[in-house]
A and B are shown apart, each in its own frame.
Chain A
Amino acid sequence: MSSMSSVRSRRLSIPAAGAGILLFFVFTWPLVYLFSDGFKTPDGRFTLAYLVQLLGDPSFYRVIANTIIVNTGGTLLAASLGILFAFLIAYTDLPCKPLIHNLLLVPLVIPGYIITLAWMQTLGQGSLIYRLTHFPLYSHWGIILIFGVCNYPLLYLLALNNFRKISRELEQAATVSGCRKWSVFFHVTLPLSAGILINAMLLIFLSCLDNFGTVAFIGIPANITVLSTDIYKAVTSFSHDSFGSAAIRAIFLSLIAFGLMWASGRTTGGLHSVMAEKEDMSVRCSLGKFRIPLLCAALLILALINIMPLMTLVMTSLTKAMGVPFRPDTVTLANFEKIFRNSKCLNGLKNSLVLAMGSVSVCAVLGITVSYGTLRRKSKLCGILQHLLTFPYSIPGIILGLGLILTFAKPVFGISIYGSIWILLLAYIIRFTAVILRACNSAFATLDPAMEEAGMSCGAAAPSIWKQIILPLTSAPVLSGMGLVFLSSLMELTTSSILWSAGSETVGVVIFNFTSAGKTNMASAYSTVILLLAAIGFGLLKLSGWLAEWVRVRPAVRAACFTNERSMQS
């Protein structure tokens, strides 16, 4: 009976249940608190005063109207750009597709507020483009433009994948039935993608709702207030009822967000039966003599929306003051010098790096554990936690921030984290665990359980199986999820903007404060440094990937040598 040492049972252990309850409180309590605070007087009694006040306030309806106008406009612009490029890349024989594809994805890695900052200089008074076009950046149009250029990659990627999966025969059937080429696109391709496209547009609308940087940088000077800036203003007004009125606004915002999430959940599905399993990469639509002109047009658009603003950003960072033209004799490194002397800048970078590392570690442990528990152990607790951990991802960051302030304004169990860097870490963990969780879910779903079982049948115990089988085989998607969380935490602004305090500034907050104070050159220089650092980090990551590959290949070479040796002996 000696080999009966290991007993595996499905019973819930007490630590696991405790951790589950803790997570439940951390992830939902801030929102519960927020919702109740909208209906509570400062001394704790129930009141409808905030609601009545808000509904009677005509400026609130202007805020709603502004929100709807800029978000709808931005979503439509993003959708047109995304569908256009997805069609070109998926179906046509446009040259240089990989280059265009990569250029299209630039806004995915650069935070929206830095893009906004870049556009502020590109279209600022006195700039070349402004003199040519007189485009009013500080207006609804400006916000719509930036929402569009920041958000189209999501729709582009989803549409691209979907277009490629549409079975070619469906389109050929339409052609055989006498449909013209463009007709096929509008009568077959687009309707087949409608579900995905609408879903993507809802997500973009949601992301515009969540946006803070753009509407703060452009909207506040232009006196265009939207829901998130309205809440920000309410929180930072420091009047006796500021939290209450912010909370009631936040309830409106979250109701809209939930509504959108619910709608997007309903639009997916259906139609999938006609989709091919694999992506069809072949050319379906030959451009003929338009190939080169279209390539030039595409590159021009991309240069205009993705490259030029960033170049202007770098140029601004190299000039002494706003409005000084960029010439060889005006180039100066003074802004960079100031930044490296400025303790807030350095502190911000340090804080963001620490926060990013902290949130990646916690999110990874949570994500991997819960995902493995759900997919392999079929744990009910983990199944519940899945929902719990993904749910805050759909809530606008400003609401999460507000909820955390309200929850932790007074010490909880004697621990006070408000006003310290810890509340930011908590916020990032709540916001970003969903990203890694999704990455892990798809990684574990594609990993054949037989891989682990083969390890067990070879005598390996759990630690070896994780180290030698599970982690190496899931590392690519899990690491890319972790990279995304790292980048998002490093550049986070929305929640940080209301949770930061002196000493706990983050990168986003420093840029935000420079911009609000009118120090655009400093903000640009700081953004340039951050982008450079991010690029270097990305390069190092790639390099380590190659190194890892090299290390992995070595044993293969050794085994081959061993084989040769043996065959020579015999």
Chain B
Amino acid sequence: MITSVRHLSMKFGDYRALDDVNLDIGEGEFVAVLGPSGCGKTTLLRLLAGFFIPSAGTISMNGSVVAENGYGSSPNQRNIGMVFQSYALWPHMTVFQQILFPLRHSRIKTWTKKDMEERAMEMLCLVGMGHLAGRYPSELSGGQRQRVALARSLADKPGLLLMDEPLSNLDAKLKIEMRKEISRIHRETHSSILYVTHDQSEAMGMADRIVIMKDGVVQQIGTPKEIFSNPANPFVAQFVGQTNLIPGKWQDDCFICGKGEVIRNRHVPHSFHKADCYPVKPEQVNLVEAGQSGLLATVESTEYQGFRSKILLALEDHTVIEALLDSRIPVKPGQTFGIKLETA
């Protein structure tokens, strides 16, 4: 199913939670919405689910409008599935009953009893929970609950699967494991997925495309690679790429910083020009003798990380930047270096 969002806005009283969002989710596409808390990502998800009605704009699924201008169809009429942050498994139903529930209330067809039971079992086997069908949620571990929630949301073959920070309640090891599982299930079922998260490694690792949001506004939409290597603005650069922003002045294609250090780069987006800064990744920062560069920095601290060391450097205007250097280069806090920036 193809989902299109056009000029979508949501207001709560005077507060603009979402402002003019445009987005298309293609057939079988995995789209992650990434942003800090309060950026409107959950609002977007709940608008798509139908729990909120948009203040303006339209949402259409497979060409038919499901929400528009203050009206919207209710969630049970939309062809969606949803995985909740708290999993929202019903404590009074067994695992098997949880999976049967969406089949009993199916939006796509009337299932026969036998088909329902087979489909439910198939879903449980898909998530590797076939042997625990008779259990109640209270008898399951966090990861198992997650799997049941996933099977339940996929049982009725939804056109769009919505996932609301599904991994945030798991410990680090389970997170990695479930990430692989979700990717595998996505490959096997070819479902379209909208995945909301504040964890950039989740978004980077799983999604076909990422939507970066801040204060209800979409900052950039692109593949993980595009977003990492070509951030559209300083916010994306810092939020996703751990990018340093060197303060300075732009003159056309030239960036001037420190005591007259000039960097020529035509590919930096205009938003950096406006913000008077230059984006540079920690691995693009090179240290040279103090006299060889107009940009001087003092080493604040070093952190040994194996092959490389993370160096925190204070520029002359006290901006702190990060550099990743070969651990064999001897660097000590208090030393002053010149800085050369790579422009690859």
Q: Which residues of A contact B (CB under 8 A)?
A: 1-8, 448, 450-451, 453-461, 464, 468-469, 472-473, 552, 555-557, 559-560, 562-563, 566-567
Residues of A within 8 A of B72 (CB): 4, 7-8
Name the CB-closest residue of B to A6: B74
Q: Of B98-106, B189-197, B262-270, B330-338, which binds chain A?
A: B98-106
* In contact, B77 and A448 (Cβ under 8 angstroms): no
Name the CB-closest residue of B to A475: B92
B239 within 8 A of A: no
**Interchain Cβ contacts under 8 Å between A and B, 17 examples:** A1-B64, A1-B65, A3-B73, A4-B65, A4-B71, A8-B74, A456-B76, A458-B101, A459-B102, A459-B106, A459-B107, A461-B74, A556-B136, A559-B96, A559-B97, A562-B117, A563-B130
Docked Cα-Cα span, A455 to B49, in Å, equals 12
Q: A448-B88, A552-B92, A555-B97 are in contact. Are A457 and B71 (CB under 8 A)?
A: no
CB of A485 to closest CB in B, whole Å = 24
B198 within 8 A of A: no
* In contact, A472 and B92 (Cβ under 8 angstroms): yes
Residues of A within 8 A of B89 (CB): 454
State the majority secondary structure of interface residues on A. Answer: helix
Name the CB-closest residue of A to B121: A566
Which of A459, A472, A559 has the most B CB atoms < 10 Å from its CB? A459
Contact mask for chain B residues 51-76; partner A; CB cutoff 8 A; 1 contact, 0 none: 10100000000001110100111111
Q: Of B2-10, B78-86, B252-260, which binds chain A?
A: B78-86
Residues of B within 8 A of A562 (CB): 96, 117, 121, 133
Docked Cα-Cα span, A207 to B22, in Å, equals 62
Name the CB-closest residue of B to A563: B133
Residues of A within 8 A of B81 (CB): 457-458
* In contact, A5 and B73 (Cβ under 8 angstroms): yes
CB of A568 to closest CB in B, whole Å = 13
Which residue of the partner chain, among A2, A454, A459, contacts B84 with CB atoms under 8 Å? A454
B38 within 8 A of A: no
Which residue of the partner chain, among A8, A450, A454, A559, contacts B94 with CB atoms under 8 Å? A559
Q: A6-B74, A451-B90, A453-B84 are in contact. Are A459 and B105 (CB under 8 A)?
A: yes
B156 within 8 A of A: yes
CB of A564 to closest CB in B, whole Å = 9
* In contact, A6 and B156 (Cβ under 8 angstroms): no
Residues of B within 8 A of A460 (CB): 76, 101, 104-105
* In contact, A567 and B51 (Cβ under 8 angstroms): no
Residues of B within 8 A of A464 (CB): 105
Name the CB-closest residue of B to A458: B102
B128 within 8 A of A: no
Name the CB-closest residue of A to B101: A458
Which residue of the partner chain, among B49, B80, B134, contacts A559 with CB atoms under 8 Å? B134
Docked Cα-Cα span, A563 to B106, in Å, equals 23
B146 within 8 A of A: no
* In contact, B53 and A451 (Cβ under 8 angstroms): no
B153 within 8 A of A: yes
B315 within 8 A of A: no
* In contact, A473 and B91 (Cβ under 8 angstroms): yes
Which residue of the partner chain, among A3, A454, A458, A566, contacts B66 with CB atoms under 8 Å? A3
Residues of B within 8 A of A454 (CB): 82, 84, 88-90, 152
* In contact, B75 and A456 (Cβ under 8 angstroms): yes
Docked Cα-Cα span, A316 to B287, in Å, equals 102
* In contact, A3 and B134 (Cβ under 8 angstroms): no
CB of B300 to closest CB in A, whole Å = 40
Name the CB-closest residue of A to B158: A457
Which of B76, B78, B80, B81 has the most A CB atoms < 10 Å from its CB? B76
Docked Cα-Cα span, A153 to B219, in Å, equals 61
CB of B108 to closest CB in A, whole Å = 9
B173 within 8 A of A: no
Docked Cα-Cα span, A4 to B58, in Å, equals 12
